[in-house]
Amino acid sequence: MMQTERTSPRQLEDLHRRFRSARGLARDEKWAQAAATVLILDDVAESAVVDQLEQLLGTLRASEEPIEELYGPARRWAEEQLPRLREEGTVTPEIARPRNFREAAVITLIGTSGFSVLLLVVVLVAGTATISLLPLVTPPTLALAIVLLQALFAAVLRRRPFVVAVGITAVALGALSTAAGWSLVTLADQATRSLSVWWHLPIAGIAGLLAWGLDRATDRATSVRGDATPPESAAADAPLDDDQWLDQAAEALRMRGDISDRRIRRLLAEARTHADDADASLVEEFGSPQDYARRHRPQAGLRARRRAWWMAGVALVATVPLVDDLVTEGISWRADSMMRAALVAFLALAAVLAWRTSRREQQATRTA
């Protein structure tokens, strides 16, 4: 089984500093950081990222030209390396794993902090000086709901096709939105105490500090224990029959998020046919299901396109109460109406940006 050489974050940081010390220019370091980020986000092994950037240092030291003139913009240079790196097998697509409790807690706290700041801005723009207790519990509730929906989607996707996972999550989102709307109306009628809108600031600060502390504590615990054996490595040691292998390979391919269900079915059918022709088991022919799942190239733009559809769908759901407000009350500057409008605008912008990313990735693949 081929193992990917691991590179520590310290090695990447040292490389970035060497770019700066090569000519004493901070922009050289920033260029290297940007290029490394693009490659790593495209699942290039960190050891390969270090190798690619180290090859540029010699020319950089001997030149007086700006680094952008030598190699072009960092993003474009990194994207130009991707086809060759994929051919060389240094791109190792990530297979998403379920979040543990600490990771979910950190994300919930970060979301609470961000939504608290956003809600504060909205109510200040609306000219509201006081609020009830209800808006203060909205940020953590919204952040927790997002984490739970993501967990549900991942759990379904491990066993079912992408379309089924989307459908079940959409139903859960609708049910959650209905329950939340009913709860908010009920609590709003009972919430009579007024509080300063600036209470959102300490809530955002406390949530942010808790997220930072929990994340640091997790990092320290991991460094003390060392890298734990991945669950898939332990599973790979257990004998698998062909049906178990196909189930695990399908799960790993789906959890990558960049291969369509149709292509997954074709890949698994081809694997079974190949093993039958060779009169061998799937494990003998292809190794572990996870290694097999990592061998295949991603479909250009698929991940970003799915993200765009997700954002557009959620924006559409969020538009329903906004339209209802417009029909019943006309244009309103109430804090809750502005919050909905800001959410719809944010989601719509995110969908457009994701769609543009998808188109750019497809174009880059065609011209590579």
DSSP string, 69-135: HHH--HHHHHHHHHHHHHHHT-B---------HHHHHHHHHHHHHHHHHHHHHHHHHTT--EEESHH
pLDDT in single tens digits along all 368 residues of the chain:
333 344 445 677 788 888 888 888 888 889 988 888 888 777 777 778 888 888 888 888 888 888 888 888 988 898 888 777 766 656 666 677 777 888 899 999 999 999 888 888 877 776 666 666 666 778 888 899 889 998 999 899 989 998 899 889 888 988 887 777 677 666 655 555 667 778 888 899 999 999 999 888 876 655 555 444 455 544 445 678 899 999 999 999 998 888 899 999 999 999 999 999 889 899 988 888 988 888 887 787 888 888 888 888 888 877 877 777 677 776 666 666 677 777 788 888 888 988 888 887 777 666 55
Domain count, the chain: 3
| Residue 175 counted as domain residue | yes
Q: Name the burial class of residue 112, with classes exposed (0-12), middle (13-18) and buried (19+) by CB atoms within 10 angstroms of its CB.
A: buried
Q: Whole-angstrom Cα distance, residue 76 to residue 38?
A: 9
**Per-residue pLDDT tens digits for 326-363:** 777 766 666 666 777 777 888 888 889 888 888 877 77
Q: Are residues 23 and 108 in the same domain?
A: no
Model pTM score: 0.67
48 and 148 co-located in one domain: no
3-state secondary structure of 1: coil
In whole angstroms, give the CA distance from residue 177 to residue 173: 6
Q: Exposed/middle/buried for 223, CB within 10 Å: 0-12, 13-18, 19+? A: exposed
> What's the domain range around 271?
231-294
Angle of CA points 22, 23, 24, to nearest 5°: 105
% of the chain exceeding 70 in pLDDT: 78
Single out the residue of 332, 340, 346 nearest to residue 177, CA to CA: 340
Asked if residue 195 belongs to a domain, the reply is yes
Q: Are strands 130-132 and 194-196 parallel, antiparallel or unpaired?
A: antiparallel
Same domain for 219 and 114: yes
pLDDT in tens, 249-301: 999 999 888 889 999 999 999 999 999 988 989 998 888 898 888 888 778 78
**Number of neighbouring beta carbons within 10 Å of residue 76:** 13
Q: Do 192 and 216 have their domain in common? A: yes
